[in-house]
Structure 1
Amino acid sequence: MARNEERLHIVMFPWLAFGHMIPNLELAKLIAEKGHHVSFVSTPRNIERLPKVSPNLATLINFVKLPLPKVPNLPENAEATTDVPYDVVQYLKKAYDALEEPFTRFLESSNADWLFYDFIPFWAASVASKLGIGTVFFSIYTVPLMTFMGPAMFLTGAEPSPRTKLEDYTVPPLWIPFPTTVAFRYYEVVKIADSLSDNESGVADTYRLGRTIQNCDFVAIRGCTRFERQWFQVLEDIYQKPVIPVGQLPNTVSKEGEEKDTWQWMIDWLDKQVEGTVVYVAFGSEAKPSQEEVTEIGLGLEKSKLPFLWVLKLQRGPCDPEVLRLPEGFEERTRGRGVVCSTWVPQLKILGHVAVGGFLTHSGWSSVVEAVQNEKPMVLLTFLADQGINARVLEEKKMGYSVPRDEHDGSFTSDSVAHSLRLVMFEEEGRPYRENIKDVKDLFVNTENQERYIENLLNLLSERRAPNLMA
């Protein structure tokens, strides 16, 4: 166990989104592999939907189920962001905040050394600190995004923020001292405006983030210094506390039961395609395009003349009133050339297939990591949250090419989709994207470096054991 001879007990408390829970589970597995105990806290239905851990880790990772309190306007059985339309997510936050009392009771009986918590439960750190438990804000968001959001004093409103209007988020802030194009587009900021101010949950996301940063002992963050060195330095200067990289946490989980049948027909189809010609299209578990966007994406795939495998989320939960439809006649016109799937798919295996030559993605960081792992160049189409900042980072490093869009409303055309796909996958102008994704792989996802990050993290946790143990 290197320097951390004594076994630690770490509690992990991620936000109720699979884009948060899965990276937390990956980190939990890496910690458990070193012999430490992890209590992974979430709601019953989410825990049931998480991939199963391997038998050798099952005794070290304990899944703790806390029933989600009922709140008005939140549908029955809605326990994750993917279960509800976007405008209902604020009520999910309200229910999550109501977990404070049962979560406190669990911590009181846990004998935990450390709490790793997300930014939505900003109250969790003060609960843990009163019990003598050390606190770590574990950010699944990237270092550029956290740096762009800025110091806690501005986020909490303790000092007047230099950002007074949405347009202020479309330029790099003054606290970033090096030249960069990393900022939101206007249409991206408009979509997340409810996160930047008061909302139905009663607490703005920016305030939650600011309090989370202020109250933790230190920050652990998904990323690696070899890829983002400048950003890490600025973030530590802003936060005035240690910022510890935990690596990119490449996905190793699978859903064995679902995967076997789904993968069989997919691999049969992929095996028949010419190497490097298939476009894989997927926008993660959260993003749901509008009907207009689905139409343009579909027609763009059709115009590209490329074979495609499109994972399309038709609804965000059973209560979503808008069910997406494919363009009229689309399936008939593309039959034999393309496949549309509306259920879960084994994305990592698809990206690893030699037939896949490009990835049309929302720029969610887990998908980005999987693309780099498998050396697939990316065409970028952002929808919400951190995706705009991720896309700018990928654009700067020429790892991904964004579909051209109207800067104000974010609209795009089928022609721009078709052109972007062909450029990145086949044209001379897109060569840098195809080459850079291979060149950056070792810098980005490296097993030895991932191992080193976890060792460094655990050594720090052992040295700075919870205050009650150091007294």
Structure 2
Amino acid sequence: MSSSSATKHKKLHIALFPWLAFGHIIPFLEVAKHIARKGHKVSFISTPRNIQRLPKIPETLTPLITLVQIPLPHVENLPENAEATMDVHHDVIPYLKIAHEGLEQGISEFLQAQSPDWIIHDFAPHWLPPIATKLGISNAHFSIFNASSICFFGSTSPNRISRYAPRKKLEQYTSPPEWIPFPSKIYHRPFEAKRLMDGTLTPNASGVTDRFRLQSTIQGCQVYFIRSCREIEGEWLDLVEDLHEKPVVLPTGLLPSSLPRSNEDGRKDSNWSKIAVWLDKQEKGKVVYVAFGSELNLSQDELALGLELSGLPFFWVLRKPSHGSGDGDSVKLPDGFQDRTKGRGLVWTTWVPQLKILSHESVGGFLTHCGWSSIIESLQYGRPLIMLPFMYDQGLIARFWDNKIGAEVPRDEETGWFTRNELANSLKLIVVDEEGKQYTDGANEYSKLFRDKELHDRYMDECVAYLETHAHHEV
């Protein structure tokens, strides 16, 4: 028997280690489930509290997926029980990164004891590739960011960095970079570029820049998985390979989530039944769904008053960090707002089943910060977007999709400020106005691609096939 056919059936042990943010943890869990469906053993590593908060894993896969808890060390300035970005305000995240550095020993001991065939990791553990290499364990970087955003941030290859020197000036971020060889609208607005330079490109309290983390984890991996697909970002995926000089860049597909069956979502079903009753009473295609993730601590006033001024029914998920500075202002609303919008609008302050809400026929638009997972979930159901990006890659994603499936709220370029009138007009443009129909049509057109489970499963099948044939233990 040839060695290739002999190795084809060998069951692997694959560990996954996402960054401490649920926008990262959930896509990593989707990858874990797909690997387990192929019969491989999976160890999913995070901290105890994050493991407890995971969605229920389908019973058919539980024998193959082990949830591995590594305690997060206590560090100064990080509130007790804060184990994910959703637990803290944005300015506390550097301390979460310090705590994350303290997971190195636990990860190292796990890898030594269990000796998995692969570890699939995120951008944050810059110390992990050398440990894996020393132990003879193959490692893969999985990026939950899309290919065009990755390209915007430039190269991590030592050969390319000298040619494309890291940008140090604000204006270098406010136009498409020189290394993009085709027409592109991807750039940061000045207010986004300022946040980026402050938050990711300069050393923070952790003493390590996000750029260094990316450079170490991308250059240290054998294969670079990216949450994208060729149907949307073919030329960008080719450019990622060229910029980073990785021999292998593999798209995972979009990993679209399926609507949970009621028995998989039990403890939160009571939430959904109350929400469903409210949505059922609304006019088809007229509700604005509003959700900005849990990291943003934005001023609610103009947002609330814009929703009120629009006259549209709305469902607003307004979550404050579950721990943190104790700043109750993060959910303070204008005086009388909830009385004036009673019946027309609903403000929800606990967990919601976002996918179920987006799938409801009463939803006519999604006011979003443009996180990649949110875009994927919205487009699965053809919901057009009212885009209000704030940080990281959100502005880049908004530019990529602007005028295809939605429109950005006009804002002050320097401060990011917007007025209630601009917000109200943007909401009405997407949900009510005739000229906004093009965005709904565009979103419906993309929904076929975004919910094509077979297509995205094929991408993941190729990724698993790569893992099967390239593990160090097979060499």
Cα distance, 1:21–1:156 mapped onto 2, change above 3 Å: farther
CA distance in 1 between counterparts of 2:315 and 2:147 reads 31
Match runs of 1:293-372 below 5 Å: 293-315=299-321, 317-324=323-330, 325-372=332-379
CA distance in 2 between counterparts of 1:402 and 1:130 reads 48
CA distance in 1 between counterparts of 2:313 and 2:266 reads 27
Deviation at 1:250, TM superposition (A): 1.4
Answer yes or no: is the 8 Å Cα contact 1:140–1:221 preserved in 2.
yes
Match runs of 1:95-110 below 5 Å: 95-110=99-114
Match of 1:231 among 227, 230, 236: 236
Deviation at 1:167, TM superposition (A): 2.3
Answer yes or no: is the 8 Å Cα contact 1:314–1:323 preserved in 2.
no
Answer yes or no: is the 8 Å Cα contact 1:39–1:64 preserved in 2.
yes
Q: Deviations over 1:253-288 (max 9, x none)?
A: 757234211111111111111111111101113223
Answer yes or no: is the 8 Å Cα contact 2:157–2:245 preserved in 1.
no
Cα distance, 1:322–1:384 mapped onto 2, change above 3 Å: farther
Match of 1:426 among 432, 452, 463: 432
Residue of structure 1 in register with 2:398 after alignment: 391
Residue of structure 2 in register with 1:444 after alignment: 450
CA distance in 2 between counterparts of 1:470 and 1:276 reads 53
Q: Deviations over 1:51-71 (max 9, x none)?
A: 110111001111000001122
Match runs of 1:69-468 below 5 Å: 69-153=73-157, 161-192=165-196, 193-241=198-246, 242-252=248-258, 256-289=265-298, 293-315=299-321, 317-324=323-330, 325-395=332-402, 398-466=404-472
CA distance in 2 between counterparts of 1:431 and 1:92 reads 43
The percentage of counterpart residues that share the same residue type is 46
Cα distance, 1:34–1:470 mapped onto 2, change above 3 Å: closer
Deviation at 1:428, TM superposition (A): 2.2
Cα distance, 1:50–1:281 mapped onto 2, change above 3 Å: same
The two structures have a TM-score, normalised by structure 1, of 0.95
CA distance in 2 between counterparts of 1:376 and 1:2 reads 47
Residue of structure 2 in register with 1:13 after alignment: 17
Paired AA for residue 393 in structure 1: F
Q: Which moved more, 1:441-450 or 1:360-369?
A: 441-450
Cα distance, 1:318–1:73 mapped onto 2, change above 3 Å: closer
CA distance in 2 between counterparts of 1:89 and 1:460 reads 34
Deviation at 1:48, TM superposition (A): 0.3
Answer yes or no: is the 8 Å Cα contact 2:259–2:356 preserved in 1.
no
Paired AA for residue 346 in structure 2: V
CA distance in 2 between counterparts of 1:46 and 1:17 reads 9
Answer yes or no: is the 8 Å Cα contact 1:279–1:356 preserved in 2.
yes
Answer yes or no: is the 8 Å Cα contact 2:140–2:222 preserved in 1.
yes
Residue of structure 2 in register with 1:59 after alignment: 63
- What secondary structure does 1:25 align onto? helix
Match runs of 1:43-54 below 5 Å: 43-54=47-58
CA distance in 1 between counterparts of 2:209 and 2:295 reads 20
- What secondary structure does 2:329 align onto? coil
Paired AA for residue 222 in structure 1: R
CA distance in 1 between counterparts of 2:159 and 2:386 reads 32
Answer yes or no: is the 8 Å Cα contact 1:297–1:414 preserved in 2.
yes
Answer yes or no: is the 8 Å Cα contact 1:283–1:362 preserved in 2.
yes
What CA RMSD, in Å, does the superposition of the two structures yield over aligned residues? 2.0
Deviation at 1:331, TM superposition (A): 0.8
CA distance in 1 between counterparts of 2:414 and 2:159 reads 25
Answer yes or no: is the 8 Å Cα contact 2:129–2:221 preserved in 1.
yes
Answer yes or no: is the 8 Å Cα contact 1:51–1:253 preserved in 2.
no
Q: Deviations over 1:167-212 (max 9, x none)?
A: 2111111111011111111111222322111111010001111111
Gap regions ≥5 residues in structure 2: none
- What secondary structure does 1:244 align onto? strand
CA distance in 2 between counterparts of 1:66 and 1:464 reads 28
CA distance in 1 between counterparts of 2:8 and 2:345 reads 51
Q: Deviations over 1:9-51 (max 9, x none)?
A: 1110000000000000011111111111110000001100111
Cα distance, 1:190–1:253 mapped onto 2, change above 3 Å: farther
Deviation at 1:154, TM superposition (A): 7.3
Gap regions ≥5 residues in structure 1: none
Q: Deviations over 1:274-327 (max 9, x none)?
A: 1111111011132232xxx41111111111111110011234624342523111
